[in-house]
């Protein structure tokens, strides 16, 4: 699979039945349609407002950023804002194939999701999980 931003080959990173595609050049991450929810499930963090179906319904055509092509179906992806005050814009395949996070956006997602969580240490759990995935 090729990075929608750099057009370079991405590497597959698999951890606990979750396979992510990672671009070493731009540090972007591709989540197939169910992988984001699976990641949140593995660390017991709620992700109902981040399901692919919910995100497709929230696509905003007025976001002025470049629209990348989905690395799977090659159609232009939609843009969705997540978060509260400092919103992060992520790319969503309009067919539901997956989600693209530019470098650093996964970290912003972690902060958004864990700030909505009631459990202590949720943000650290996600950071530890991704640290294991990417060996950081």
Give the pLDDT confidence of 75-103 residue by residue, as tens digits.
999 999 887 666 789 999 999 999 999 98
**Mean pLDDT value of segment 97-112:** 83
Q: What global pTM score does this model have?
A: 0.83
**CA distances to 95, 106, 108, 129, 135 from 14, in Å:** 24, 16, 21, 12, 11
Question: What phi and psi values does residue 87 have, to the nearest 5 degrees?
Answer: -70, 145
- R_g (Cα) of the chain, nearest Å: 14
User: What average pLDDT does this structure show over 31-60?
Assistant: 80
- Strand pairing of 11-15 and 18-22? antiparallel
**Going by DSSP bridges, is the β-strand pair 29-32/78-82 parallel, antiparallel, or unpaired?**
unpaired
User: What are residue 89's phi and psi, to 5 degrees?
Assistant: -105, 120
CA-wise closest residue to 92 among 81, 84, 103, 83: 81
Which residues have CB under 8 Å from 70's CB, separation 6+? Answer: 4, 76, 77, 93, 94, 95, 97, 98, 100
Q: In this predicted model, which residue has the larger pLDDT, 107 or 111?
A: 107
Predicted confidence at residue 125, as pLDDT, reads 62
Mean pLDDT rounded to a whole number for the chain: 82
């Amino acid at each position: 699979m090729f990075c929608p931003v750099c057009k370079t080959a991405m590497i597959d990173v698999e951890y606990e039945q979750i396979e992510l595609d990672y671009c070493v050049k731009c540090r972007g991450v591709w989540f197939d349609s169910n992988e984001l929810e699976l990641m949140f499930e593995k660390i017991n963090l709620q992700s109902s407002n981040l399901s692919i179906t919910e995100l497709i319904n929230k696509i905003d055509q007025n976001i002025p950023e470049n629209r990348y092509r989905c690395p799977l179906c090659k159609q232009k992806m939609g843009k969705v804002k997540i978060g509260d005050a400092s919103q992060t814009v992520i790319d969503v395949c309009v067919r539901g194939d997956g989600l693209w996070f530019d470098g650093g956006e996964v970290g912003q997602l972690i902060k958004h999701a864990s700030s909505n969580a009631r459990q202590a240490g949720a943000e650290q759990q996600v950071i530890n999980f991704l640290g294991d995935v990417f060996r950081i």
